[in-house]
């Protein structure tokens, strides 16, 4: 990311006797005229620079939301862990971003939301359930590889910090594989078995009642709305109709193998990096 800072030195005019205050009506007219004049000067002076910066707004939004997330997580975990966690989130989302580009879809940007994760904006998921599954699984695949890269560091340094960060990364990717839209597991189910969305929602509702949590409740609400929307639009000529979910058996099997393989690997990774704390 690059930023352009322009600074211009400006000479101050010599001091002059203070003018007499104008009458109220005259002062108001001069105030309006002065504001308009200043606006026109500013537009002529900096308007071109603002236009040049507009294409970089997405980058600025991503970087800014990343910094806000780091600051928020640092309050709880400290800055070092916060930076590592947000980096793992970024790599996970880059998996989605890269796959969207491979599917011929131009993402609209990436934004980080403290305590909720991150998301890549897009108007399409590739035009088919199989493309949606590939996009959904690309995040956990790249995120798992990035988290697994921490294991040699943890083994070499014998530092529980790296084990804790790896454990969190494995958990993050495993949680995203829950079969609920709009989580990554729900995307995979679009190509495997869309009926699993209802089982996933039922399981999430049960979990909310057992261990109430605002994040889980939000996921249930989003999942419920998204599942209802898809069911309602299944007969319309839009993305998500009946033709959208037609997937060849071999492709369905491939998606299922990747999904199950990821779940197993992530569970093993969590077991290997779990740190027992004694109080």
What pLDDT is recorded for position 137? 97
**CB pairs under 8 A, 24+ apart, for 207-215?**
215/115, 215/116
Cβ atoms within 10 Å of 107's Cβ, excluding its own: 19
Tell me the sheet residues that pair with 111.
119
Average pLDDT value for residue range 51-71? 67
What pLDDT is recorded for position 58? 57
Q: In the numeric block, which tokens belong to residue 147? A: 């988290």
Max CA separation in the chain (angstroms): 87
| pLDDT of 263 above 70 | yes
Are residues 1 and 56 in contact, defined by beta-carbon separation less than 8 angstroms? yes
What pLDDT is recorded for position 267? 96
Average pLDDT value for residue range 13-37? 44
Q: In the numeric block, which tokens belong to residue 77? A: 């975990």
Q: Could you tell me what percent of the chain has a pLDDT over 70?
A: 76
What pLDDT is recorded for position 86? 95
What pLDDT is recorded for position 121? 84
- Looking at residue 179, the DSSP 8-state letter turns out to be S
CA distance 119 to 108: 10
CA distance 178 to 186: 7
pTM over cut 0.85: no
The domain spans of the chain are 56-273
Question: pLDDT tier at 13 (50, 70, 90 boundaries)?
Answer: very low
- Residue-wise pLDDT for 163-177, tens only, equals 999 999 999 999 999
What pLDDT is recorded for position 3? 37
Q: Could you tell me what percent of the chain has a pLDDT over 90?
A: 47
């Amino acid at each position: 990311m690059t930023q352009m800072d322009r600074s211009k030195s400006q000479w101050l005019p010599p001091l002059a006797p203070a003018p007499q205050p104008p009458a109220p009506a005259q002062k108001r007219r001069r105030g309006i005229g002065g504001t308009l004049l200043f606006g026109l000067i500013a537009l002529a002076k900096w308007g071109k620079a603002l236009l040049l910066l507009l294409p970089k707004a997405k980058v600025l939004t991503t970087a800014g939301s990343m910094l806000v997330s780091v600051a928020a997580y640092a309050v709880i975990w400290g800055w070092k862990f916060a930076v590592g966690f947000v980096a793992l989130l970024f790599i996970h989302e880059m998996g989605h971003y890269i796959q969207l580009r491979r599917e011929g879809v131009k993402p609209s940007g990436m934004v980080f939301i403290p305590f909720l994760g991150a998301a890549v904006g897009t108007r399409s998921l590739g035009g088919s359930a199989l493309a949606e599954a590939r996009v959904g699984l690309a995040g956990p695949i790249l995120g798992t590889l990035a988290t697994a890269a921490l294991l040699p560091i943890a083994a070499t340094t014998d530092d529980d910090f790296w084990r804790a960060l790896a454990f969190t990364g494995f958990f993050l990717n495993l949680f995203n594989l829950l079969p609920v839209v709009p989580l990554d597991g729900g995307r995979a189910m679009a190509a495997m078995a869309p009926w699993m969305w209802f089982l996933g929602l039922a399981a999430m509702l049960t979990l909310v009642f057992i261990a109430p949590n605002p994040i889980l409740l939000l996921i249930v609400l989003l999942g419920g709305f998204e599942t209802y929307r898809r069911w309602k639009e299944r007969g319309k000529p839009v993305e998500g109709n009946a033709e959208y979910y037609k997937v060849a058996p071999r492709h369905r099997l491939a998606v299922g193998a990747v999904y199950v393989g990821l779940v197993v690997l992530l569970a093993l990774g969590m077991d290997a990096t779990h740190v027992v704390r004694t109080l």
